[in-house]
Chains A and B, each alone.
Chain A
Amino acid sequence: MEMVKVENVSIRFRLQADRISTIKETMVALFKGRLKYKDFWALTDVSFTVNKGEVMGIIGHNGAGKSTVLKIISGIMKPTKGRVVLGGNVVPMLELGSGFDYELTGRENVFLNGAILGYSKEFLHEKFDEILEFSELGEFIDQPIRNYSSGMLVRLAFSIAAVVTPEILICDEVLAVGDERFQAKSRKRMLELMGGGTTVLFVSHNIDQIRDMSDRVVWLDHGKVKMLGDPDTVCAAYRKWLDSPEG
């Protein structure tokens, strides 16, 4: 069963030669007939499907469009052309903790961030102890998070994101959080999710991690699909390309 279907997706960014953001500047530019854009296609005709329970790794050089693909799948951006069809709910794990409010306590942030990620009130009440335990924050949970260390923040953020069993999970470089022990723990949780039938899309610059964890890998190059297939073949080809003078 197809859980994520990306069909001929293209996205265009309009770049202005000089950024115009005031009314006066726009008027002046319009008057001079100078409101010209430079088009930049961040993705061109990208198509792939991810089946239920499959783990899809996405690799590519910086600026290849990896994060853009994930943003389109999670609904943050709309494609200029093409469409995305989803077979279930999506939980994005893009940059952890972006919904935190530093004046609030850890406990209050669990509810705020959970609501932003689309969890229900009942679900959060039910899972609160589990989140607290996973985060290892103990009594610090009732402290304002502006007093937290950065390690504590990522632990809390990951614990909130990891408590759900989403149908589709999207991760953008999130597995490198916390100290080594917590990394191992979060990796284990990811593997559990993957084993539990969750469809996963993830981006990482760590090629070994991609090769070990994915079922299939898509390689993006300048906004196009360069290669799509089993992890060993694609990762080997990508490595070779990286070592070549082009990469």
Chain B
Amino acid sequence: MYGNERFSLTAYIKNLTRYKFLIEQLVSRDFKTKYKRSILGIFWSFLNPLMMMGVQYAVFTRLIARAGGIPHYAMYLLTGIVLFNGFNDCCNQSMRSVCGNASLITKVYVPKFIYPASKVASASVNMLLAMIPLLLVALINRLWPCLPWIVIPVGLALLIIFIMGLGLLLSALMVFFRDIEFLWGVFSTIWMYATPIIYSIDLLPESLQKLEVFNPMYHYITFIRTLIIDRVFPDITQYLWCMGFAFGMFALGAFVFHKTEDKFIFYI
């Protein structure tokens, strides 16, 4: 029966399990087509962040040293790059997922959140793959595994929930306003420079340092850096910030998506 169902989170999650096979297929499709005609294939998922780190390390290391230095700067950079690139990649792909699948949406009934969800899933797998070279570089830098590392998956899971929410929001908005794609391109660049990836938060003026608490990516990156580089468990406040942003954004994204999804078909 197709009536007006009421919004419920449990229904979303139930749907997610029912369409597991479809999501699996869509994710494996993304992987197969992404690297289909490249020689190094999946290794690009490892190489890309390492190369980025190499370039930025070469360019910024002296500058940072002059400003007081950051311990384990290569690791510091790489953590930021892996997480922020993963975030950016997920958002870009999920944002375009609804408009990009217009031909399917108008022909077959599939719950529409499947499209952004599968894109977030495939881009997240990519981000998780990029964690492998990250951990290898940690070992090279003699940052040996320690007990706090068991919380790494928690930090990543919260980041992915945050991204899922943002992906739902962006993909829904893009159906109605194609400008979002271009606005987001500019916005995410600003966001990247506003996040302490290359520099440390101490280098910012005090007024800006206070503003960083409103930057979700600052919290997620700091969370993982605390675990890998400082090798201690994060404060309880760090958990709370990460959880707050994750569930808040997810609720907002799911709400907007649910409210608008029935109208997609008239706009794509």
Whether A and B are associated in the same complex: the answer reads yes
- Complex: chain A residue closest to B22, CB-CB: A115
CA distance A117 to B32 in the complex (A): 20
Give 1 or 0 for each of A1-23: 1 = CB within 8 Å of chain B CB: 00000000000011000000111
A79 and B2 form a contact (CB under 8 A)? yes
CA distance A90 to B1 in the complex (A): 11
Contact residue among A83, A103, A115 (Cβ-Cβ distance under 8 Å from B2): A83
A121 and B21 form a contact (CB under 8 A)? yes
- Indicate if B206 sits at the interface (CB-CB under 8 A): no
- Contacts A13-B266, A78-B2, A83-B1; is A22 near B178 (CB within 8 Å)? yes
CA distance A115 to B266 in the complex (A): 25
A116 and B22 form a contact (CB under 8 A)? yes
Which residues on the A side are within 8 Å of B36 (C-beta)? 103
Main secondary structure of the interface of A (DSSP, over half): mixed
Which residues on the A side are within 8 Å of B214 (C-beta)? none
CA distance A215 to B65 in the complex (A): 83
- Indicate if A142 sits at the interface (CB-CB under 8 A): no
Which residues on the A side are within 8 Å of B262 (C-beta)? 78
Main secondary structure of the interface of B (DSSP, over half): helix
- Indicate if A24 sits at the interface (CB-CB under 8 A): yes
- Indicate if A178 sits at the interface (CB-CB under 8 A): no
- Indicate if B110 sits at the interface (CB-CB under 8 A): yes
Give 1 or 0 for each of B22-42: 1 = CB within 8 Å of chain A CB: 101110010011001000000
- Contacts A77-B265, A95-B107, A98-B108; is A26 near B177 (CB within 8 Å)? yes
Which residues on the B side are within 8 Å of A112 (C-beta)? 25-26, 29
Which residues on the B side are within 8 Å of A221 (C-beta)? none
A22 and B104 form a contact (CB under 8 A)? no
- Contacts A83-B1, A83-B2; is A101 near B177 (CB within 8 Å)? no
- Indicate if B176 sits at the interface (CB-CB under 8 A): yes
- Indicate if B105 sits at the interface (CB-CB under 8 A): yes
Question: Which residues, 69 to 101 on A, are CB-close (under 8 Å) to B?
Answer: 71-72, 74-79, 83-86, 90, 92, 94-95, 98-99, 101
CA distance A139 to B21 in the complex (A): 26
- Complex: chain A residue closest to B106, CB-CB: A76
Which residues on the B side are within 8 Å of A164 (C-beta)? none
Question: Which residues, 82 to 138 on B, are CB-close (under 8 Å) to A?
Answer: 103-110
- Contacts A21-B178, A108-B32; is A84 near B1 (CB within 8 Å)? yes
Which residues on the B side are within 8 Å of A118 (C-beta)? 22, 110
Question: Which residues, 173 to 224 on B, are CB-close (under 8 Å) to A?
Answer: 176-179
Contact residue among B25, B26, B32, B267 (Cβ-Cβ distance under 8 Å from A103): B32
B104 and A99 form a contact (CB under 8 A)? yes
- Complex: chain A residue closest to B173, CB-CB: A23
CA distance A16 to B177 in the complex (A): 15
Give 1 or 0 for each of A102-116: 1 = CB within 8 Å of chain B CB: 011000100110011
B109 and A120 form a contact (CB under 8 A)? no
Which residues on the B side are within 8 Å of A71 (C-beta)? 106
- Complex: chain A residue closest to B180, CB-CB: A23
- Indicate if B3 sits at the interface (CB-CB under 8 A): yes
Cβ distance B98 to chain A, nearest Cβ, rounded Å: 14
Cβ distance A29 to chain B, nearest Cβ, rounded Å: 13
Which residues on the A side are within 8 Å of B179 (C-beta)? 22-24
- Contacts A22-B179, A115-B21; is A83 near B3 (CB within 8 Å)? yes
Which residues on the B side are within 8 Å of A116 (C-beta)? 22, 25, 104, 108, 110
- Contacts A83-B3, A98-B104; is A75 near B32 (CB within 8 Å)? no
A76 and B107 form a contact (CB under 8 A)? yes
- Complex: chain A residue closest to B261, CB-CB: A78
CA distance A195 to B110 in the complex (A): 28
Cβ distance B204 to chain A, nearest Cβ, rounded Å: 31
Question: Which residues, 28 to 77 on A, are CB-close (under 8 Å) to B?
Answer: 71-72, 74-77
Which residues on the B side are within 8 Å of A85 (C-beta)? 1
Which residues on the A side are within 8 Å of B104 (C-beta)? 98-99, 116
Which residues on the A side are within 8 Å of B3 (C-beta)? 83
Cβ distance B196 to chain A, nearest Cβ, rounded Å: 31
Which residues on the B side are within 8 Å of A79 (C-beta)? 2
CA distance A202 to B117 in the complex (A): 33
Which residues on the A side are within 8 Å of B109 (C-beta)? 74-76, 90, 92
Between A and B, 18 residue pairs with Cβ closer than 8 Å are: A21-B176, A21-B177, A21-B178, A74-B108, A76-B106, A78-B2, A85-B1, A86-B1, A92-B109, A98-B103, A99-B108, A101-B29, A103-B33, A108-B29, A111-B25, A112-B25, A116-B22, A116-B110
Q: Which 4 A-B pairs have the closest CB atoms?
A: A75-B109, A115-B25, A115-B22, A103-B33
